[in-house]
A and B are shown apart, each in its own frame.
Chain A
């Protein structure tokens, strides 16, 4: 069985591998795993922001969107739990993309769908250079985002009517 709790598998790889770091040269560069985690955290924060804005604009869709939002919040929590902050670096907490919420509900849902697709693609791009436990987390989140795309497609079809 391929199982081990993530709570026992934090990514301690805060620093890139290097022989004999020079203590006077400042903090070493971040490892690929930590850079990938930082990017993934930012991606989830962006998604959460756009979901909240869309739900605020279209309260009728809030129940359906709220379930997906809760899953993104779970993704963010899990991604953050994988990081031990390296010296001089903090886990990103800012939203880097703040698109306007479209005036039509169907278009707003389409924007969410596009954001989910983009996030899922980004998760898959991180797979190759990630350690196995992280790769599985990215793959699972990407699969979750794929299910969201299907849900949003159905919601968009309903919002046309």
Chain B
């Protein structure tokens, strides 16, 4: 089933969009820690590889933000999950939700006017879109669109150690 596209019409600043993407990557790194603990075998190996990919993407974004003269947003110490994650099935669902959240964040980067940053966002969203499809077991027509709330959010009052 396809999501309803909901692109933005407002101008977006590169730093703000990149910070949003970085926050999504932080959340994914945290979330895969939760999901991976409940998975086994091939799924766990995939989750581990995906977790490492998100760490690399996080580092890339942090470097880009520093280069633009800003301080990268820090990870939260803990996050609120969008639903109870108690077994392998819900762990796979969480992994798909994490990837959807990262895909959506990179689509926000595409809204900036800087062509280089825009293209970076468009390319960067393809990998999480593919991973989301793999975890979900099906593709969607409009990855990153739909305007859903973030799948995982920082827990208030928690800061990174």
Chain A residues within CB distance 8 Å of chain B: 1-6, 8-9, 67-68, 70-71, 74-75, 78, 124, 127-128, 132-144, 146-148, 150-151
Contact = CB atoms under 8 A, between A and B. Distances in A.
A1 B119 CA distance: 21
Contacts of A139: 107, 110, 121-122, 125, 144
B109 to A, nearest CB: 9
Pick from B112, B125, B139, B143 the residue with the most CB of A within 10 Å.
Answer: B139
Main secondary structure of the interface of B (DSSP, over half): loop
Nearest to A8: B9
6 contacts: A9-B7, A127-B119, A128-B115, A136-B5, A139-B125, A147-B140
B126 A142 contact: yes
Interface residues of B, number: 38
A147 B130 contact: yes
Contacts of A142: 122, 126
Contacts of A138: 122
Contacts of A78: 5, 142
Given A75-B141, A124-B123, A140-B145, A147 B129 contact: yes
Given A144-B143, A151-B133, A132 B2 contact: no
For the complex of A and B, 7 pairs with smallest distance between CB atoms: A136-B7, A139-B122, A2-B8, A133-B7, A74-B141, A71-B141, A143-B129
Nearest to B146: A3
B11 interface: yes
Contact of B5 (A6, A128, A146): A6
A64 to B, nearest CB: 11
A1 B107 CA distance: 12
A5 B3 CA distance: 12
Contacts of B121: 139
Contacts of B147: 1, 3
Contacts of A9: 7, 9
B113 interface: yes
Contacts of A135: 110-111, 118, 122
Contacts of A4: 6-10
A150 B130 contact: yes
Contact of B140 (A5, A8, A133, A144): A144
Interface in B1-51: 2, 4-12
Contacts of B142: 74-75, 78, 137, 140-141, 144
B110 A136 contact: yes
B151 interface: no
Nearest to A131: B9
Contact of B9 (A71, A127, A132, A148): A132
Contacts of B160: none
